[in-house]
Amino acid sequence: MKSPKENVELPAVDRVQLKVPVLQQLYHWDCGLACSRMVLQYLNLLNDDEFQKAIQDLQLTKSIWTIDLAYLMRHFGVKHRFCTQTLGVDKGYKNQSFYRKHFDTEENRVNQLFAQAKAWKVLVEKCTVTIGEIQEHLSQGHVAIVLVNAVLLLCDLCSSPVKFCCFLPIGQKCFCRTPDYQGHFIVLCGYNKSSGSIYYNNPAYADRTCCTSVSNFEEARTSYGTDEDILFVYRDS
């Protein structure tokens, strides 16, 4: 028989912190792939050779969109749900510095992926996701990959923000200026309702799980440029 003390437990939905492995990105452009690797390892589905083959099969290059990550999950047979505000490419991004370089070459490719998603059994929905839905998803042991504006996302545990422009390849100039928008993928792995916190793995680091307030997370994930993209991934794949 349990003692009275053992019977007193906080409901699981009040605080969740999943043990998602932290894997660091290798370049300035592969944060989405690093997040995918974290998720697949969490699901015990990561094999480096198979992952590299999947990248080749899906023809993933240095321009990775959330729809690419959804196709990657489907490639590994992972149950997923990609929620976004725009089913395709927002033409308004053409004038944004973050998207400008690859916009013309990527627009048709990305729009085609959206158009073919149903045929390839990639689940995409145009919808708004609430923080409550995200917390409910995490409370069941599932994880999610979220596109955020890294300029706005501030970790309460890190002493200083990451200078993402310093992920440039060797030989390229780094001006370390702060842009208006810097698209970056993170993996959500928990929350604490009492403190109003969200836990996430940032592929810019290899040694920590980050934490921010719900309000800061919401600001970063709903910033113009993200389309409020969130890729829900389910453990029972």
* For residue 8, pLDDT beyond 60: no
* For residue 4, pLDDT beyond 50: no
Q: CA–CA separation, 146 vs 176, rounded Å?
A: 24
Q: What is the pLDDT of residues 9-53, one digit of tens each?
A: 444 589 999 999 999 999 989 999 999 999 999 999 999 999 999
Helix axes 214-221 and 131-139, enclosed angle (nearest 10):
110
Helix axes 31-42 and 48-57, enclosed angle (nearest 10):
130
The two three-digit tokens of residue 20, written as one number: 């998602």
* For residue 166, pLDDT beyond 70: no
Contact 39/145 with Cβ under 8 angstroms? yes
Look at 28-32, 82-86, 170-174, 188-192 and tell me which has the smallest mean pLDDT: 170-174
pLDDT at position 92 is 76
DSSP line for 10-23: --GGGEEE--PPP-
Per-domain residue ranges of the chain:
12-233
| More confident call, 219 vs 1 | 219
pLDDT at position 178 is 61
Proportion of the chain above pLDDT 90, given as a percent: 74
What residue type is 178 in one-letter code? Answer: T
What residue type is 127 in one-letter code? Answer: C
DSSP 169: P
pLDDT at position 38 is 98
pLDDT at position 160 is 66
Question: Domain 12-233 class?
Answer: alpha beta
The two three-digit tokens of residue 5, written as one number: 């003390």
pLDDT at position 9 is 41
β-sheet bridge partners, residue 21: none
Kindly report the backbone phi and psi dihedral angles of residue 82, in degrees, each rounded to the nearest multiple of 5, phi listed first: -100, 115
Q: CA–CA separation, 213 vs 230, rounded Å?
A: 18
pLDDT at position 97 is 76
Q: What is the pLDDT of residues 96-108, one digit of tens each?
A: 777 777 777 889 9
Helix axes 97-116 and 66-75, enclosed angle (nearest 10):
40
Q: Hey, is 147 helix, strand or coil?
A: strand
